Structure 1
Amino acid sequence: MKKYIYILFICILAAGCRKKGGPGPAPGAAILIAPAKDLPCFTGTVVSQTESSVAFSWNAAGNASAYTLTIKNLLTATESTQETTTPNATVTLLRNTPYSWHVKSKASRNTIVVDSEVWKFYNAGAGITTYAPFPAELLTPTFGQLFDNGTTKVNLTWKGSAVDNNITGYIVYFGPKANPDVFRERTTDSFVNDVTVSSNTTYYWRVVSIDANGNISDSGISNFYVK
């Protein structure tokens, strides 16, 4: 009798293990389709003088059961998210405004979340024929980065882009004030190397991009600290 009870216990335990199983396969990265990268978006449906409804789409990612669409207003840095189980979504956005967007893929039986590329676009506005550059991406130092005591030089790097690919220069603002002064004017480089810094100081910096039509955009302020 004990033998049969033991066998029954083993069978129940094995069934439980099969039921739990291991994690499922990780999702793949979504391949973005629209709105197109670094271009104006003219396909939105106008809902008011200031807003239009924009359709987002991407290729379905392998093993993905759900997606999170994240859209960022590049002028205000405000982000919005939308959950969906399909590779598309429609969102109402401000017109004549630059945005970035990306998609996170999620699987039902795996905790791994996979990010797509990040794309930028301009949501078109009425009568607009030229668009300001996208706000520059401040790459290094990263926001809030801490540098060791004794650091005397840092390199500032950023990335600029525009729908017309017509950026003619940048103005770099840098210093220990929260509203920094002009540090480098009308440089065509996307870096400033060997910037002198001192210990126990917070530094602030931003970059203004200028295009051939005189349009400008502001990266917004970033900061870092030298111990």
Structure 2
Amino acid sequence: MKQFFLSLIALALFSSCGGNDDPPPAPEGADLIFPLENSECTTGVSVNETLSQVTFEWQSSANTETYSLNVVNLDTNMPQTISTAATSASLSIAKGAPFSWSVTSINSDSDQIASSETWLFYNSGAQTTYAPFPAQLVSPISGSTVQKSIANEVDLIWIGADVENDIESFEVFFADQNPPLTSLGTTNSSIMELAASVESNTVYFWRVITTDSEGNTSDSGVFEFKVF
């Protein structure tokens, strides 16, 4: 009987010391609020001739302690990042330039993070018309290795946007040398995909030039991929 009670005590002690083995809940992605997607931001407070301070806002997300605001100048590809526990933050950014922005949700108890969507906007400047946003090259991902189709082709896919919604065309440049100078073709504003003929064991480079009805242009920058 004594041994039975000792066993019960040991079991109780073991149970009380045991922790919860469930992993901590992962943070969820935040919903962006402002600046609006594909918009002109006119609410910035002027800092000097070249900069204005813009306040970014997003909704709170579950299981999140802090947020990392990521803003990228699409003309220079220079990022700015700020960490905060709030659901808004202000940054001084260039006037008259296109930007992308997103928010990363972080929880110190979890090794996972969550990213919001990425939105584009122009920070208001002196100009009265804006160039299209640089096309976002979606596929193939830069630095990736892809397989060609039976027709020995790879589909090049991108996304285009414009504050004034007046994109006229996309011209795709594609080559096995960097920078790619050979025009693969031009599509209208509704077509954002073009097939490229490729060979195995070759690295290719591609970029997209977007043109609007005012003749303004933007350059996506160069992506590269390898065909195996």
Indicate the TM-score class for this superposition, using the shorter chain for normalisation.
0.7 to 0.9
Residue 217 of structure 2 is aligned to residue 216 of structure 1: yes
1:190 corresponds in structure 2 to 192
Match of 1:121 in 2: 121
What is the deviation of 1:145? 2.0
CA distance in structure 1 between the partners assigned to 2:48 and 2:11 by the alignment: 67
Residue aligning to 1:60: 60
Instruction: State whether residues 32 and 59 of structure 1, in contact with CA within 8 Å, keep that contact through their aligned partners in structure 2.
Output: yes
Query: SS state of the match for residue 134, structure 2?
Result: strand
Distance 1:216 1:57, change over 3 A: same
- The more displaced of 140-149 and 196-205 is 140-149
Instruction: Measure, in 1, the Cα distance between the counterparts of 2:204 and 2:29.
Output: 36
Gap regions ≥5 residues in structure 2: none
Distance 1:14 1:73 in 2: 55
CA distance in 2, matches of 1:147, 1:106: 32
Cα deviation, residue 109, structure 1: 3.0
CA distance in 2, matches of 1:90, 1:128: 23
Higher strand residue share: 1
The number of residues matched between the two structures is 224
| Cα deviation, residue 149, structure 1 | 8.1
2:135 is paired with a residue of what secondary structure? strand
CA spacing shift, 1:13–1:68, aligned 2, 3 Å:
farther
Shift of 1:97: 1.1
- 1:171 and 1:182 in contact (8 A); partners too: no
Where in structure 1 are there 5+ consecutive unaligned residues? none
Which stretch shows the higher mean deviation, 61-70 or 31-40? 61-70
Aligned residues with identical type, % of pairs: 35
Query: Relative to structure 1, is the Cα distance of residues 12 and 97 closer, same or farther in structure 2, using a 3 angstrom cutoff?
Result: farther
TM-score, length of structure 1 as denominator length: 0.88
Between 146-155 and 163-172, report the one with greater CA deviation: 146-155
Where does residue 29 of structure 1 map in the other structure? 29
Match in the other structure for 1:173: 173
TM-score by length of 2: 0.87
